[in-house]
Amino acid sequence: MIRVKYAFASILFLFAAVSFAQEAVTKEKEPGHYNQSKFKQLYEEFATPNTYRSASGAPGPDYYQQQADYVMDIRLDDKNAKIFGTETITYTNNSPDDLEYLWVQLDQNIRTKDSKAALKNGSGIPLGDSPEKFVGNYMTESFDGGFNIDYVKDNSGKALPYTVNFTMMRVDLPTPLKSGDKFSFDIKWDYNIPDHTVNRARSGFEYFEEDGNRAYVIAQFFPRMAVYNDVEGWQNHQFWGNGEFALPFGNYEVNITVPADHILDGTGVLQNRKEVYTKAMMSRYEQAKKSYDKPVIIVTQAEAEAAEKGFSDKTKTWKLKAENVRDFGFATSRKFIWDMQAVRLGNRDVMAVSMYPKEGNPLWEEYSTKAVALTLKSYSSHTFDYPYPKAISVHAKNQGMEYPMICWNYGRPNKDGTYSDRTKYGMISVIIHEVGHNFFPMIVNSDERQWGWMDEGLDTFMQYMAEQEFGETYPEAIAPNAKYPSRRGDPAKIVPYMSGDQSTISPIMSNPENVYQLGPNAYGKPATALNILRETVMGRELFDHAFKTYAQRWKFKHPTPEDFFRTMEDASAVDLDWYWRGWFYTTDYVDMAVKDIKKYYVSDTPNKKMKAYLAERGIPESNLRPMVYLEEYDDSGMIAPELKDNLPSETSKTLKEFMMDNMTAAERAAVKEPKYFYEVTYNSPGGLPMPLIVEYTYADGSVENVTYPPEIWRKNSKEVSMVISSTSELKGVNIDPKMETADIDTTNNSWPKKEQESDFDKMKEGIKGK
């Protein structure tokens, strides 16, 4: 069966006597209605392109970034849970500006005794707190965890004046640091390490009562250079806890001294493996380097359990070197089990590594390194080959936190080793997510302090793809014939948030400190937006190429939101300003509905619409040249008797005959012959424009799927009417049948309206069934 949609466009042309602005007549006339607002270009919202950042979304010819190199000696006092450090920072000023001072970040100062961070929330009594959080908030003395700065000196040993402002420290320079010059200075510091299981600190220790040991996951532990760039000057947003980090790239040489019975891993390449590994560990490591299909245990559970029973007073120094990283983290404990395997990426091998206390088993030895390896492969295929030599997943209770080459992850089985599906999937997902952060923001180094979504949203989107790949790669790990149960990414998953109370929803383009619901705001919604963009708006081919272009343009650089938005359009030739505007700059939601369907027949006398048009303008009907009209059936759906002769579907006169005066025989033979005409009116109460995906069902049983481009909403974002013609009678209209668009209300998506079974009916049926 064939349906004609546009045949009349050319036929009408022959008859055209009056030019009509048909759309303008029927569309809204309310005051304040901005016809093109949803599709207006984002010139007012976007920063103006310049020589640092091009209009294409690529780094401009004058793009620069600062460099901060660190040489550090770190000492852990395991007995007292204290950490000491001395560091030499060499700062290279690649900017065109001379700098009178340098800003250094002191993130641990969020935990000074008098920190205002604990006083930042004014939302009153919470719905509820976890016991740990409650104890932390109301039942303990506030912990003294801020930096103690011993000195800040230049290389000649001369003290440099400095001023601490909460989590930032300004170091005043003797003379301005000229563009292109370097400055080296030394800082000595220490602080008390917090128990990270209290108040969910991003780093610290977990104490294990049974054996009296701590497992440390240490980060934000040294004074770190703030970012200075063409967008913000010095980054000057304090660390309040939610907005994460903004850091320049640099090279690190870090020597970490810990008890001799500790196992340690961190950012960078170990420089003195033979000094810190046993012989057994060395030979297992050599095997792991050649093991591509499964991990090799480097430190066994038995060895870790034996180490737990002691407490060495001797020390060992682990020496790590990292190139081109934006941060440094490490984990250390005598409790750690350790495994590794090789992953082939391009023509290089990368090590996938896991470190976990026995409390993580049996889950961790089964899944952690598997998940690390899969993540590196999956993310590399969508961006660039993972450039670092290793990626480590460390098990730490309740943690999900990322650093270059290393991250902390939750997922702890019950004491007896059993675990729920929820724990298992939670663990695999968090590992994929945190290892994935190596790409965004550790390498594609966006400003997390300002834009949580640029790393969390992109990463959660990539996580969704990797999780689905995990399910396909390890079907035995998930339920039979099921997809991996991703928590975020599927359009339907974001509906509860987007349909929620607007007073607690902010646009994605918000600072992470300023939003009520950071999870859906910075993770779920952008991930869904990108997923829909890929699957439904752009298609995989265009999306994947553009996304990869963004990743490759900005790896080892500092992109802004505009760099992302512009690159996605530049590399695909898809104007997406309307999409960024709707999904990222507003809290509009998707709700598309079938409003009305009217049936029409073909006629050669002016229809009601034309009559009204002529009357309004005082044009006599006789002025019209012959035209074809679609006339609406009367309200009862019956045909006006005097018009019956004109109805090709109802009489012996065919549509072709009806048209014949104006067509040659050849033209008539080539024209298809629809019998039914409908005007289907759709509306969009949510206001977020989307492709309108419609499934039409006809009386002859055929089904037609039409995807109208989002541009149908460009002149009127509230309502559009589409004319369809068919050889069979229309029986059903269904919007978004596969639930691709995150439409928040599907009860208005169908014609005829689908009866919604009430809960009461369902309950009754349930009772009957028993």
CA distances to 245, 585, 715 from 719, in Å: 43, 22, 9
CA distances from 755 to 695, 751, 761 (A): 18, 10, 12
Residue 527 · residue 489 · CB < 8 Å: yes
Shortest Cβ distance from residue 243 to Zn ion (Å)? 13
Closer residue to Zn ion (CB): 429 or 725:
429
Contact 170, 228 (CB under 8 A): no
**Least Å from the CB of residue 407 to Zn ion:** 9
CB of 740 to Zn ion, least distance (A): 25
Size of the site for Zn ion (CB under 5 A): 1
φ/ψ (deg, to 5) at 337: -90, 150
* CB of 532 vs Zn ion, minimal distance in Å: 20
Closest to Zn ion by CB, 304 or 401:
401
Compute how many other C-beta atoms are within 10 angstroms of the C-beta atom of residue 624.
Answer: 15
Residue number with CB closer to Zn ion (432 or 720):
432
Q: How far is the CB of 106 from Zn ion (least distance, A)?
A: 23
User: Which of these ranges, 61-69, 340-348, 451-459, 627-635, lies near Zn ion under the rule CB under 5 A?
Assistant: 451-459
Q: Are 105 and 239 in contact (CB under 8 A)?
A: yes
Q: Which residue is nearest to Zn ion (CB)?
A: 456
Q: Could you tell me the smallest distance in angstroms from the CB atom of residue 354 to Zn ion?
A: 19
**Which is nearer to Zn ion, 377 or 437 (by Cβ)?**
437
**Which residue, 46 or 240, is less far from Zn ion as judged by CB?**
240
Shortest Å, Cβ 478 to Zn ion: 23
- The whole-angstrom separation of Cα 147 and Cα 188 is 10
Token output for 182: 């370097």
Strand partners, 71: 88, 253
Read off φ and ψ for residue 487, nearest 5 degrees: -80, -30
Closer residue to Zn ion (CB): 456 or 740? 456
Cβ at position 581, least distance to Zn ion in Å = 25
Q: Which of 69/456 has CB closer to Zn ion?
A: 456
Considering only the stretches 118-126, 156-164, 452-460, 583-591, report the one whose residues sit in contact with Zn ion under the rule CB under 5 A.
452-460
Distance of closest approach, residue 244 Cβ to Zn ion, in angstroms: 8
Phi-psi region of 481 (alpha: psi -120 to 50; beta: other; left: phi over 0): left
Tracing tokens 């550090």 back to the chain, one arrives at 72
Q: Which is nearer to Zn ion, 447 or 456 (CB)?
A: 456
Nearer to Zn ion, 339 or 456 (CB): 456
Which residue stretch of 20-28, 450-458, 550-558, 628-636 sits at the interface with Zn ion (rule: CB under 5 A)? 450-458
Asked whether 603 and 646 are in contact (CB, 8 A), the reply is yes
Least distance from Zn ion to the Cβ atom of residue 217, Å? 15
Q: What angle do CA 728, 731, 732 make, to 5 degrees?
A: 130
- Residue 504 C-beta: closest distance to Zn ion, Å: 21
Residue 179 CB coordination number (10 Å): 13
CB hemisphere CA count around 228 (13 angstroms): 23
Query: Near Zn ion by CB under 5 A, which window of 23-31, 169-177, 453-461, 653-661?
Result: 453-461
What does the block give as tokens for 720? Answer: 């559009």
Interacting stretch for Zn ion, rule CB under 5 A, among 89-97, 368-376, 445-453, 455-463?
455-463
Distance CA 416, CA 542 (A): 49
Q: Are 532 and 557 in contact, with CB atoms under 8 Å apart? A: no
Nearer to Zn ion, 547 or 713 (CB): 547
Find out whether 380 and 345 touch, Cβ atoms under 8 Å. Answer: yes
Binding span for Zn ion by CB under 5 A among 33-41, 252-260, 456-464, 745-753: 456-464
Nearest to 214 by CA among 418, 414, 397, 409: 397
Closest CA to 681 of 714, 647, 705, 716: 716
Q: DSSP assignment of 457-517, as one string? A: HHHHHHHHHHHHHHHHH-GGGS-TT-----SS-SGGGGHHHHTS-GGG---SSS-GGG-S-
Report the residue number, 267 or 748, with the smaller CB distance to Zn ion. Answer: 267
**Nearer Cβ to Zn ion, position 456 or 591?**
456
Which residues fall within 8 angstroms of residue 148, CB to CB, at 6 or more apart?
189, 190, 191
CB of 437 vs Zn ion, minimal distance in Å: 6
Contact 389, 350 (CB under 8 A): yes
Q: Which stretch binds Zn ion (CB under 5 A): 85-93, 176-184, 444-452, 454-462?
A: 454-462
Task: Give the residue with the Cβ less far from Zn ion, 72 or 430.
Answer: 430
Would you count residue 244 as binding Zn ion (CB under 5 A)?
Answer: no
Q: What is the DSSP letter of 641?
A: G
Q: Which is nearer to Zn ion, 526 or 689 (CB)?
A: 526
Among 107, 339, 359, 456, contact with Zn ion (rule: CB under 5 A): 456
Nearer to Zn ion, 456 or 631 (CB): 456
Binding mask 400-439 toward Zn ion (x if CB under 5 A, else -) reads ----------------------------------------
Q: How far is the CB of 557 from Zn ion (least distance, A)?
A: 20
Stretch that binds Zn ion, among 449-457, 526-534, 630-638, 690-698 (CB under 5 A): 449-457
> Any idea what DSSP says for residue 621?
G
Which residues, including other chains, have CB under 8 Å from residue 744's CB and lie 6 or more apart?
495, 498, 499, 589, 590, 591, 686
E strand spans, 106-210: 148-154, 162-165, 168-177, 182-192, 204-208
Give the nearer residue to Zn ion in terms of CB position, either 107 or 456: 456
DSSP string, 36-101: TGGGS-STTTSPPP-SSB-TTSSB-TT----EEEEEEEEEEETTTTEEEEEEEEEEE--SSS-EEE
Site for Zn ion in 608-637 (CB under 5 A): none
The secondary structure of 249-290 as a DSSP string is BEEEEEEEEEETT-EEEESSEES-HHHHS-HHHHHHHHHHTT
**Least distance (Å) from Zn ion to the CB of residue 554?**
18
Residue 402 beta carbon to Zn ion: minimum distance, rounded to whole angstroms: 6
Q: How far is the CB of 459 from Zn ion (least distance, A)?
A: 5
Give contact residues for Zn ion (rule: CB under 5 A). 456
